[in-house]
Amino acid sequence: MTSRVAATRLRAADIPYPLLVGALGALSAILFLVSLVVGYVPLDPVAAVSDIIAGRDSVGALVMVELRLPRALLGLMVGFSLGATGAALQGLLRNPLADPGVIGVSGAAALGAVIAFYSGLAGFLSIGLALGGLAGAGLATALLLLLARQGAGTTALILSGVAIGSLAGALTALALNLSPSPYAVMEVVFWLMGSLADRSLDHVLLAAPLMAVGWILLLGAGRALDGLSLGEETARSLGFDVMRLRLRIVVASAFAIGSAVAVAGAIGFVGLVVPHVLRPLVGHQPGPLVLVSGLGGAVLTLAADILVRVLPTHPELKLGVVTAIIGAPFLFSLLWRMRREMD
């Protein structure tokens, strides 16, 4: 009975892949434009754009280039990174509950940013926090690779990721604990909640090349992820090098997620929920899901970031808080469904 219900649900939605990619792409483009228009300063977007093109230094042009454009671009980039990484990691681990946090890189990036904050690097340089985050992510990745190169299997790799993540979490808590000033603690805690506010084009330029490396590696792994649907042995018999795939996805995730956390702080649930919601629409194929989920991540992140600015709360809600509040009920419904299917 239950399997009958599940079968109908699974069969119900199977949208042609190009259509799905086109629709999600168009939706993220629209939200990107909306993100440029929505803000605290009332502003005529058409006039601002024509000012930019004409090279006039109007207030509108300044707000557009210095504030809104970086914010919208980062929403797109961070969202894509979270969604695509989540899908690839779920495919690699063949587990719908995996999220970008499992490899520990996001925790390490947060720790790096916190250390940058306390060391004063952040006060000294506008992108100091981001640089600290990248350093943390880089160290964690090196550690993971060292383990992976010794031939550790997927389980060992993930356990190391979890260990790195919890160590980074403990050290972050230690830094907060030893903080000399409560204001500093508050500032760090707020940063850790994740936000795209007050970022500059420097942040975009810092993250873009690193994320691009991650995206290229992730999107190129689709065929192998499909092959992995029938287990590692079958994937290898189909000609895929599973160990290289593992390395590739860990490195790609580290690039994409490390730089996302470094510029935007920790934005949870996007990487977990988006692949899960979109999976039935690609017929549960892990390969095509990577691009679709990346676009879906961009849609969700941009939408949440617009919501944050539209809601009349003060201070502005943090993006990570909003995604978690939207995401947690999804997770509950997912667990509810899984529980029912296991009965």
Partner 1 sequence: MKIEALDVSVRAGGRTILEPVSLTIDRPGLVGLIGPNGAGKSTLMRVLAGLHPPDTGAVRYDGLTVDRIGRDVLGRRLAYLAQSGRLHWPLKVERVVALGRLPHRERPGPAADCDRAAIEAAMRATHISALRNRPASTLSGGERMRVLLARALAVDADVLLADEPIAALDPYHQLEVLDLLGDLAARGKTVVVVLHDLSLAYRYCDRLILMSGGRMLADDAPGAVLTDANLEQTYRVFAHRVRLAGEEHIVPWVRLGTVAPDEADQTGGTRPWKRT
In the complex with partner 1, the residue whose CB is nearer, 95 or 333, is 95
Q: Which of 182, 239, 312, 315 binds partner 1 (CB under 8 A)?
A: 239
In the complex with partner 1, the residue whose CB is nearer, 75 or 227, is 227
CB of 77 to partner 1, least distance (A): 23
Short-list 211, 104, 224, CA closest to 164: 104
How distant is the alpha carbon of residue 94 from its chain centre? 19
| Binding track over 195-234 against partner 1, x by CB under 8 A | ---------------------------xx--xxxxxx-xx
| Binding track over 274-313 against partner 1, x by CB under 8 A | -----x---xxxxxx-------------------------
10 binds partner 1 (CB under 8 A): yes
CB of 285 to partner 1, least distance (A): 6
| Binding track over 80-119 against partner 1, x by CB under 8 A | --------------x-------------------------
In the complex with partner 1, the residue whose CB is nearer, 173 or 335, is 335
Residue 30 neighbours by CB under 8 Å, 6+ apart = none
CB of 311 to partner 1, least distance (A): 37
CB of 287 to partner 1, least distance (A): 5
- CA-to-CA dists, residue 2 to 8, 96, 197, 245, 284, angstroms: 10, 20, 46, 35, 19
Rounded-to-integer distance, Cα 327 and Cα 274, Å: 9
Rounded-to-integer distance, Cα 100 and Cα 77, Å: 15
**Token pair belonging to 251:** 């490195």
In the complex with partner 1, the residue whose CB is nearer, 94 or 309, is 94
CB of 229 to partner 1, least distance (A): 5
13 binds partner 1 (CB under 8 A): no
7 binds partner 1 (CB under 8 A): yes
| Total residues in contact with partner 1, by rule CB under 8 A | 31
25 binds partner 1 (CB under 8 A): no
Q: Which residue ranges make up the site for partner 1 (CB under 8 A)?
A: 3-4, 6-7, 10-11, 14, 94, 222-223, 226-231, 233-234, 236-241, 279, 283-288
